[in-house]
């Protein structure tokens, strides 16, 4: 098994994810190589007292960016990084990071 502290990078604290936490769904940014089983084990180890019912994962594609520059062409492009999101539905327990927001 991979290191559970390396699988989950950070919780996603947006309006949508905080509203979903009242229904027992929590969103995390995870390693790109992580699968659903790795995410399930990591959440259950990192947050004692939680039981995971379901894990949904998705790849979030990076967005294209155009940057103004002082080169001859005038502009050059770039992109933000692609990343992986996991939405974890719990059977039992809560995750303290999302409480009180």
Q: Domain containing 8 — which CATH number? A: 3.30.70.330
**Given this model, what pLDDT does residue 44 score?**
94
Q: What is the model's pLDDT at position 95?
A: 85
Structural domains in the chain (count): 1
Per-residue pLDDT at 98: 73
Q: Are 60 and 92 in contact (CB under 8 A)?
A: no
73-to-33, 65, 78 alpha-carbon distances in Å: 37, 16, 14
| Residue with the two structure tokens 């790109």 | 32
- What is the number of other CB atoms lying within 10 angstroms of the CB of residue 97? 14
Range(s) of the domain holding residue 53: 4-92
* pLDDT digit string, tens, across residues 15-45: 999 999 889 999 999 999 999 999 999 999 9
> How far apart are alpha carbons 8 and 47 in whole angstroms?
11
Q: Tell me the CA distances in angstroms from 48 to 30, 92, 99, one per residue in order.
A: 19, 11, 15
Which pTM was predicted? 0.83
74 domain residue, yes or no:
yes
Residue 67 lies in a domain: yes
Using 50, 70 and 90 to split pLDDT, how confident is the model at 70? low
Res. 68: pLDDT tops 70: no
Residue 36, in any domain of the structure:
yes
Is 85 contained in some domain? yes
What is the model's pLDDT at position 73?
57
The conformational region for residue 15 under phi > 0 = left, psi -120 to 50 = alpha, else beta, is alpha
The pLDDT of residue 50 is 93
Tokens at 36, concatenated: 């659903």
Is position 24 within any domain?
Answer: yes
């Amino acid at each position: 098994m991979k290191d559970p502290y390396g699988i989950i990078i950070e919780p996603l604290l947006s309006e949508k994810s905080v509203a979903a936490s009242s229904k027992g769904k929590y969103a995390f940014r995870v390693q790109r190589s992580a699968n659903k089983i790795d995410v399930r084990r990591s959440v259950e180890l990192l947050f004692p007292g939680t039981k995971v019912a379901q894990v949904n994962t998705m790849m979030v594609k990076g967005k294209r960016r155009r940057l103004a520059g002082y080169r001859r062409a005038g502009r050059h492009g770039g992109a933000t990084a692609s990343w992986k999101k996991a939405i974890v539905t719990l059977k039992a327990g809560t995750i303290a990071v999302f409480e009180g927001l």
